[in-house]
Structure 1
Amino acid sequence: MSTLSVYHVSSPDLPNKVLTHFEDIASTLAEQGVTFERWQAPTPITPRASQEEVINAYRAQIDTLSTERGYGTVDVMSLSSDHPQKAEYQARFLEEHQHAGDEMRFFVAGRGLFTLHIGDLVFAVLCEKNDLVSVPAGTRQWIDMGENPHLVAIRLFNHPEGSVATFTGENTAGGFPSLDD
């Protein structure tokens, strides 16, 4: 089940609110310019599917988003607990960063704690299979995939260079609960 925990940056141990209903999560994020939706694959995704197979399963939706919202770059982020570079990927994605263009993440399998730092608030969205989050350019963010990751997500970017992260150098992520807490 997807959840949204909203924190003030000064109180990372105590959320201001925790939401579990889809409509409440979507409307709270919409107030920040963030879209939260649910999608279904028209064809099943098999475990260990390649990037090409995942993209092809969602080709119609990807093409629609690319046309309507200008997303020109698509890739698949996939991490499992037996990945040989698991620790490196996890450490990189846990650093607070931002992107020059808008970004959309669709969770095809597994789950991740996708966290947005907007002003004085931190929005920790536990995303699971079929969740889609659209994030405006410049939004500070990080993603926690947990100690035993299982995550497959399609990422779309409207920046010509795709996923180019600018790291903030701040350790904001380290002060907030992790996926495994």
Structure 2
Amino acid sequence: MSSLTVYHQSSPDVPNKVLTHVEDIATTLGEVGVRFERWQASAPIQPGASQDEVIAAYRGQIDQLKAERGYATVDVISLDRKHPQKDELRAKFLDEHRHGEDEVRFFVAGRGLFTLHIDDYVYAVLCEKNDLISVPAGTRHWFDMGEFPHFVAIRLFNNPEGWVASFTGDDIASRFPRLED
């Protein structure tokens, strides 16, 4: 189940609120400029589907986002516990960073924890199958795929180079809960 846990940055052990209804999550995140939606595939997706098959199943929603926000590049990332670089990839995303463009992810399968650091608050967003999150450019955040990752996500970019991060050097990510497997 998708969830949003909001903390004050000084209280990583005591959440201010925990939300599990999609509408409440979307409203709360919308108040800080983060888009959160639920999507459904226009065609069934089989396990092991190719990148082209996954993108085709969500073509209508992808085209709408590209038209609205000018995204130029779309790809699919798929990770599971057998991925040979899972530990390196997890470590890369766990430190607080920001991007010069929106970070848009749609979870086709599995789950991941996006944690956003906005002003004095930390928003931990557990994204699961059918969740779309769009983190605005410049937002400090980190991502945890868990010790035993399992997710397939569509990624949209303005930058043809794809994922380019600027790390903040702040250790805040180490003080907040991570994704429990």
* TM-score bucket (shorter structure): over 0.9
| Letter aligned with residue 168 of structure 2 | T
Q: Per-residue CA shift, 1:9-39, capped at 9, x if unaligned?
A: 1110111110111111111000000111000
The alpha-carbon deviation at position 4 of structure 1 amounts to: 0.3
After the TM superposition, list the runs of 4 or more consecutive aligned residues in structure 1 that deviate by more than 4 angstroms: none
CA distance in 1 between partners of 2:68 and 2:137 (Å): 17
CA distance in 2 between partners of 1:88 and 1:78 (Å): 15
| Letter aligned with residue 141 of structure 2 | Q
SS of aligned partner of 1:68: helix
Aligned residue in 2 for 1:114? 114
CA distance in 2 between partners of 1:73 and 1:87 (Å): 26
Aligned residue in 2 for 1:57? 57
SS of aligned partner of 1:62: helix
> How many pairs were matched up?
181
Unaligned runs of 5+ in 1: none
Unaligned runs of 5+ in 2: none
Aligned residue in 1 for 2:74? 74
SS of aligned partner of 1:67: helix
CA distance in 2 between partners of 1:52 and 1:116 (Å): 30
Q: Per-residue CA shift, 1:98-154, capped at 9, x if unaligned?
A: 110122110110001111111111000011000011111101111111111101111
CA distance in 2 between partners of 1:27 and 1:73 (Å): 28
Aligned residue in 2 for 1:22? 22
Q: Per-residue CA shift, 1:148-174, capped at 9, x if unaligned?
A: 110111111223543211111222111
| Letter aligned with residue 78 of structure 1 | S
CA distance in 2 between partners of 1:60 and 1:25 (Å): 24
The TM-score, its normalising length taken from structure 1, stands at 0.95
The alpha-carbon deviation at position 56 of structure 1 amounts to: 2.0
C-alpha contact 1:77 1:152 (8 A) present in aligned 2? yes
CA distance in 2 between partners of 1:141 and 1:49 (Å): 30
SS of aligned partner of 1:133: strand
CA distance in 2 between partners of 1:116 and 1:23 (Å): 19
The TM-score, its normalising length taken from structure 2, stands at 0.95
Q: Per-residue CA shift, 1:32-51, capped at 9, x if unaligned?
A: 00111000011122222222
Aligned residue in 2 for 1:149? 149
SS of aligned partner of 1:16: strand
Residue 127 (str. 1) matches residue 127 (str. 2): yes
C-alpha contact 1:2 1:128 (8 A) present in aligned 2? yes
SS of aligned partner of 2:27: helix
| Letter aligned with residue 72 of structure 2 | G
Residue 45 (str. 1) matches residue 35 (str. 2): no
